[in-house]
Structure 1
Amino acid sequence: MKSARIAQRSKMPDSWEDIPWGEYYRIALNQQLQPWWPKIFGFHLLKIGQLSLQIDTQASLITHQFSMNIAGSNCQLLGDPNEMPFEDKSIDACLLIQQLSYSTNPHWLLREADRVLVDDGWLILSNFNPFSLLGLGKCIPLLRKRQPYRSHMFSTWRQLDWLSLLNYEVLQRQSFQIIPWINPDHFINRNLQFAGCINLIIARKRTLPVDANTHKIYANPHENR
């Protein structure tokens, strides 16, 4: 497996407004996640990072929702996501929105999230898609030092490989918001999602090995049992 350790950390934006067309990304993520919140049960929902904090989780059935970040004034808890101050298997759902893109060690961050998640806990990941208009922007010298092009973009298949090593069952994987600067409800963004700028993965931590022959990835959340 190719290492994803990053020598230098790219600064995490303080809000979606600090990213060009970031509000469109946030709206699109909220739309994709909305059908899933009634399916996610538990006692504790952890939002890691400023961008996770701004995701709408009001429809979630988990009443205790709190956020953590390495810095910031609007988080309930200040701490390093790579060294979370929680006991093993104490969190029911973990929201990692764009966190891998700005982490110096994405593998370690995933393992730390896995450590604190209960068995059958929920892991929600989103990242910028390298095979999209944003990915093309990284090839342009004038853009690559700006947000969000300066972030690290990992393909869906690479993230699925990491999750399989941790024995996660992927319930949904999807790309959306193919054109960043138009509304998520536009015809193109609603119907052409194969090269969307945002990748979303929803997975559950399993204690028994997941059988690849019977494993089903749900492209539509309404299909989930």
Structure 2
Amino acid sequence: MSTEKQEEWLASPLGQYLQEQEQALFDRVVHDIFGFHAMQFGMLGMPLLRHCRIPFQFNADVDHGVIQCASHQLPIQADSLDLLLLPHALDFSEHPHQTLREAARVLVAEGHIVITGFNPVSTWGLRRLANDTDDYPWDANFLSLMRVKDWLTLLDFEIIELKMACHMPPLRNSSGQGRLSAIERLGSRFWPLMGGVYFVLAKKRVIGMRLIKPAWNKSKLKAGLLPTPTQRTDIQKKHE
């Protein structure tokens, strides 16, 4: 995938529309996730960590960013990230399943992953089928949400939130975008699963791990803290 092609498309009206939709989704969820280390892989033109309160943040991509690597070969220590953003990383990965395996490896227990991808069951998917060239982004994998959910489940992730965005058809020019803006509102209400982009928030679970809570024994508390009534003696009765 060419960085120049990506930047050119993101600057187009359709690319700006996608950025607006996805930025709002990322801004909302990253604000409430805590930890020490957060990373965004791909789509570095979008500041998806801008509202994140995790102190140490960095980015990575195939040919630019703080770290330059493939998404399925992260040079990062295992169990070191609290938050990992993968905006369309699966769409352009040569090995998308392995990309998720790497995500599971580098995330700490209870760490979060946020994924966006192009939905094949949408007008965007139809546009991809009708596109006879290798133009960006129609050369993406367009993995189904069901497949991504299955992969996450196999890797012991718990799905926290699923959403769809970009219900408006991907027009080739911007002349009809304004007139079709109502489709976005209608689509999110009446055909929510037909959005051009899916958004997934998931948490890494570890088998056998559970939170240890204090095992308070109510009877012991009562016996140790509350005075127990006693019978009155004959001396006490005389003074009544």
Q: Give TM-score scaled by structure 1 length.
A: 0.79
Q: How does 1:37-186 map to 2 (within 5 A)?
A: 37-49=30-42, 51-52=43-44, 54-72=46-64, 75-142=65-132, 144-179=133-168, 180=170, 182=177, 186=181
1:57: Cα distance to partner?
2.0
Q: Give the match's secondary structure for 2:161.
A: strand
- The answer as to whether partners of 1:52 and 1:96 remain within 8 angstroms in 2 is no
The Cα offsets for residues 45-80 of structure 1, whole Å up to 9 and x where unpaired, read as 11112x1552332211112110111212xx112223
Residue 28 of structure 1, aligned match among 21, 29, 46: 21
- The answer as to whether partners of 2:40 and 2:48 remain within 8 angstroms in 1 is no
Residue identity matched to 1:178: H
Residue identity matched to 2:9: D
Structure 2 CA distance for aligned equivalents of residues 99 and 56 of structure 1: 14
Structure 2 CA distance for aligned equivalents of residues 122 and 53 of structure 1: 22
1:39: Cα distance to partner?
1.4
- The answer as to whether partners of 2:71 and 2:93 remain within 8 angstroms in 1 is no
1:12: Cα distance to partner?
5.1
- The answer as to whether partners of 2:71 and 2:89 remain within 8 angstroms in 1 is no
How many residue pairs get matched?
A: 195
Judging by fraction of residues, say which structure has more helix. 2
1:138: Cα distance to partner?
2.3
Q: CA RMSD in A?
A: 2.2
Q: Give the match's secondary structure for 1:59.
A: coil
Gaps of 5+ in 2: 172-176, 209-240
Rg (Cα) greater in structure: 2
Gaps of 5+ in 1: 1-10, 210-225
Q: Which runs of 4+ in 1 moved over 6 A?
A: none
- The answer as to whether partners of 2:40 and 2:49 remain within 8 angstroms in 1 is no
Residue identity matched to 2:33: I
- The answer as to whether partners of 1:16 and 1:26 remain within 8 angstroms in 2 is no
Structure 2 CA distance for aligned equivalents of residues 171 and 156 of structure 1: 14
Percent same amino acid at aligned positions? 27
Residue identity matched to 1:45: A
- The answer as to whether partners of 1:53 and 1:67 remain within 8 angstroms in 2 is no
Against the structure 1 CA distance between its residues 130 and 63, is the aligned structure 2 distance closer, same or farther, given a 3 Å change threshold? Answer: same
Structure with the bigger RCO (C-alpha within 8 Å, sep 6+) is 1
Structure 1 CA distance for aligned equivalents of residues 69 and 89 of structure 2: 14
Residue identity matched to 2:61: N
